Each structure stands twice: as C-alpha cells, then as structure tokens.
Chain A
C-alpha cells in the first residue's frame, strides 16, 4: 500500500517561513491535498491539487509537488498557524481507489 511520510514536528519563529514535507513514491504524479487541524477541532482543507487554495484560506499558504516530495509552505507564520498538518492523496494502485493520509506534522510557532 502507498505510504506518505511527514516529519513529526516543525518549529518556526513568527514571521518566518515554515515548510512541511510529505514524502511518497513518485508523489509528483499524484494530486496532494493538505489539511490543518487545531486541537479539539475538525480538519480544514488549506491546499488542494498540490497548490490551489480554497476560498478563505490566506495566500500565505501554498504548496508544491515534484518527484518524491510534496511541500506545504506557510509564509509569514503567525501564532494562529500552530496546528497539526496532514497531507493526503488517493491511491488507485489496488483494485479500488482508497485514501491515504500522512502521519501528520505538528507545527510549533516559537
């Protein structure tokens, strides 16, 4: 089965840029979606199809995807960005399409 690998934690100072990676075999050939989850809340979609943003998501959130790594980039990080972030793809390699999530990355704003 397809596996997505994320670093458990990333730390960044306010105003700096945070980069959260999501590794997978030839992930560049798939569409990657990213979710933000704050404690006690449901996940929220922040980037879809590698680099598109849903309405209402700040332009500070961006994404890229190539080769074996997808990256969520958060520019000018704010205290309110502190959360867990998950990448997600659809895997169609088996007899039916199924969903794969990365293990999640906790973003700490120092």
Chain B
C-alpha cells in the first residue's frame, strides 16, 4: 500500500525557517517524481515544487523561488522541503504527492502537515 506521511510542520515567526519531511513507503520511491502542494486555510490547491527521480531537475512556483528548496534521499525513501524567509502568506497545509512522470497526475497524496507563519 502506498503511504506518504508528512512531518515537520508547526508555528514559525515571519522570516524564520522550517524543514518538512515526507516518508514514503509501499512503492519504489526512486522511480517517481515527487511534489509538494500547499493549501492555505479555506483556499484552493497550489503547486509548490517538483523534483525528478534522481534529484537532477527541480522546479518551483515563482512565489517560493530562492526561498524554498526541494530535495530527496532515495536511500531513505524521503522527500524534503526546506523553507526559509517564511512569510505569513506561506501559511498552509503542505502535502507531498507522488507523480509518475511529468505531465501525469498526482496519483497519491499524504495527509498534509500544517505550517503557520505568525508572530
């Protein structure tokens, strides 16, 4: 059974940093693109970043470029999102999601972890 379990969310002050993790199981992690998608309270879904199977390609939404870094450790079946210079507008539930390949859908999602940026 495919499982994606996010962790690392919490309350952080504006300008602060946080590192999210996503533990994957039930599939060959190294064979899939992986993504982060977020959802602000009461709002819609927003794609944040993608990373290729071997980590050689990474893509970001413009609003997080230069502040967020997506990475992965295939030996640990884990996906990460390092978030720096956090802003109030980054407050959201962050989901990790599996993507079989570019142009394909997000076929499995984790349950999400809440990040709150507030003083």
Contact = CB atoms under 8 A, between A and B. Distances in A.
A97 interface: yes
| Dominant secondary structure of chain B at its interface with chain A | loop
Contacts of B95: 42-43
Contacts, number: 56
Contacts of B44: 84, 86, 101-104
Interface stretch (B10-18, B20-28, B83-91, B97-105): B97-105
Interface in B42-71: 44-47, 50, 59, 61
B78 interface: no
Contacts of A92: 103
Interface residues of B, number: 20
B45 A48 contact: no
Interface residues of A, number: 26
Given A99-B35, A99-B47, A54 B107 contact: yes
Question: Which 8 residue pairs spanning A and B have beta carbons closest together?
Answer: A99-B47, A33-B105, A42-B109, A104-B44, A48-B105, A101-B45, A90-B103, A96-B59
Interface of A: 31, 33, 35, 37, 41-45, 48-49, 54, 84, 86, 88, 90, 92, 96-104
Interface of B: 35, 37, 44-47, 50, 59, 61, 95, 102-107, 109-112
